[in-house]
Amino acid sequence: MRLASLRSAKSGASDTSLAGLTFVITGETDEYQGDTFGSHCRGVVEACGGRVTSAISGVTDYLIAGTVHYNPFLGTRGPIENGSKYKKAVTMNKCKIVDLEFIEGLVDGSMTHED
Evaluate if residue 14 carries a pLDDT over 60. Answer: no
Per-residue pLDDT averaged across 105-109, rounded? 84
Residue 8: its pLDDT value, please?
Answer: 43
Total-model pTM:
0.83
Assess whether pLDDT exceeds 70 at residue 11: no
Q: What element of type H or E holds 7?
A: helix 3-11
Domain that holds residue 68: 3-108
pLDDT, tens only, 23-57: 999 999 988 887 899 999 999 999 999 999 999 99
64 inside domain: yes
Collect all residues with Cβ–Cβ distance below 8 Å to 56 and sequence separation of at least 6: 24, 63, 85, 88, 89, 92, 95
6 has pLDDT over 70: no
Q: How far apart are CA 102 and CA 115, in angstroms?
A: 9
CATH number at residue 92: 3.40.50.10190
Give me the count of residues in the chain.
Answer: 115
For the chain, how many structural domains are there in total?
1
Name every residue whose Cβ is closer than 8 Å to that of residue 9 and which is 6 or more positions away in sequence. Answer: 1, 15, 44, 47, 48, 107
In a domain, 23, yes or no: yes
Task: Report whether 15 contacts 86 (CB < 8 A).
Answer: no
Which pLDDT does position 115 carry in this prediction? Answer: 62
Residue 36 resides in a domain: yes
